[in-house]
Amino acid sequence: MPIRRVEVYTVELPYRKPFTISMGTSVSSTDVVVKLIDDEGRIGWGEASPSRRVTGESEDTILAAMNALVPLIIKEDPMNVERIEEKLSKAILGNTAAKLALEMAAFDLKGKILGVRVRDLLGGYTDRVETDFTIGIMPPEEMASDAVKHVESGFRILKLKVGTDVNEDIARVKAVRDAVGGGVRIRIDANQGWSLKQAKKALSEMARYDVELAEQPLRWYDLEGMAELTRTSPIPIMADESVHSARDALLVAEMGAADYINIKLTKAGGLLEARRIAAVSEAAGIPNMIGCMMEGGLSITAAVHFATATRNVVTTDLDSDISLKEDFVEGGARCEGGFRILPEGPGLGELRVREGRLKLRAVYEEGRESTTPL
């Protein structure tokens, strides 16, 4: 049962098309994939999706963090996920994507050993959740045609990236609303792109297009500004980059700095901290969304387990794998008509990692104190 060996891989994930948000444009991600193996050869998988601008991590920092983190969990009992997570969280500050990958793999392994889904280990609430589809910043007419295409394929909620010039942002929202009509839910995400003044103007204008919520209009640290918007905006405010941890959620709640909090496993550094954020949010009367970075299907499946286990998660934004040219997993949480459906099977469920797509970067084993970069 103890974790005997950990293999660390990287995988290239090119997108179907360039993805632009207020912080920049990206065309692909390089994710780090970990494989935990216990002394009976059972396997747990985890994924880290680096985000330089949100968690300050890259492929290289994650690989470096593994040198500090993995030796701490070799020989640990995968039943003790909370203890594993404590060791990881105390070892180094931040590096949450790296920590998530290891904790996710420990949960997967624990679930497989017990024959139980991760969703059931975490609580258990439902078996499917509806997701939005996210449209990156583009000219209004392109965003509108993209919106129509995705509504036709079954999505009933759209998330529009904004946060550039306010008048252009208003035109983007108008174009999409005009194109999809009244039956589709529209939310926006400015990714910290506006000043308080710009946000006030944008939100008061956009309210006429029936926008259900506005994610992170201001800089992550501007909780006073977020609180002012939460009091005055006609559109409810969601904190995303402002909340990584349960402590952040407590501060946002105390300051009245959001109507909703967006949990991401990558920001939280694991499912356990994500659950703590949900607990703090629920106690404060703040509903959660669960969102994603540009993650592959493994990490998205872990997020679906969390979402289907947690009643305070009232909506989801779990769509990044759909925008990949080719995922590195088969199976996992499938997407049908805008719903993510929990896979059958223990741990993270029935999914196959295409190991041929992975590049082995390091192996850590019991009895070998130093790492073995290949």
Q: Which is nearer to Mg ion, 47 or 189 (CB)?
A: 189
159 classed as catalytic:
no
From the CB of 32, what's the least distance to Mg ion, in Å?
22
Cα distances (Å, whole numbers) of residue 156 to 68, 151, 368: 43, 6, 52
Candidates 35, 110, 200, 264; catalytic one:
264
CA neighbor of 262 nearest in space, from 252, 254, 23: 252
User: Contact at 8 Å (CB) between 100 and 265?
Assistant: yes
As a whole number of angstroms, the longest Cα–Cα distance in the chain is 64
Candidates 161, 197, 325, 359; catalytic one:
161
From the CB of 193, what's the least distance to Mg ion, in Å?
11
Residues that bind Mg ion (CB under 5 A): 189, 215, 240
Q: Which is nearer to Mg ion, 192 or 308 (CB)?
A: 192
197 classed as catalytic:
no
Q: Which is nearer to Mg ion, 8 or 176 (CB)?
A: 176
Q: How many CB atoms lie within 10 A of CB 226?
A: 27
Secondary structure of residue 88 in the 3-state scheme: helix
Helix axes 271-283, 297-309, angle to 10 degrees: 40
Task: Specify burial of residue 135 (Cβ count, 10 A radius: 0-12, 13-18, 19+).
Answer: buried
User: Contact at 8 Å (CB) between 205 and 225?
Assistant: no
User: Contact at 8 Å (CB) between 21 and 87?
Assistant: no
Q: Characterize the bridge pairing of strands 237-239 and 211-215.
A: parallel
From the CB of 162, what's the least distance to Mg ion, in Å?
11
Q: Which is nearer to Mg ion, 193 or 269 (CB)?
A: 193
CA neighbor of 12 nearest in space, from 374, 359, 363: 359
Residue linked to tokens 């500090």 = 68
Q: And the tokens for 72?
A: 């701490």
From the CB of 216, what's the least distance to Mg ion, in Å?
5
Query: What is the distance, to the nearest Å, from the Cα of residue 244 to the centroid of all Cα atoms in its chain?
Result: 11
Residue type, 4: R
Distance separating alpha carbons of residues 232 and 200, to the nearest angstrom: 8
Q: Which is nearer to Mg ion, 215 or 228 (CB)?
A: 215
Distance separating alpha carbons of residues 42 and 29, to the nearest angstrom: 28
Backbone φ and ψ of 135, nearest 5°? -115, 125
In 190-321 the beta strands, taken as DSSP E runs, fall at: 211-215, 237-239, 260-263, 288-290, 313-316
Q: Which is nearer to Mg ion, 51 or 312 (CB)?
A: 51
From the CB of 121, what's the least distance to Mg ion, in Å?
27
The residue sitting closest to Mg ion, measured at its beta carbon, is: 240
From the CB of 361, what's the least distance to Mg ion, in Å?
29
Q: Which is nearer to Mg ion, 193 or 332 (CB)?
A: 193
From the CB of 201, what's the least distance to Mg ion, in Å?
20
What amino acid positions are annotated as catalytic residues? 161, 264
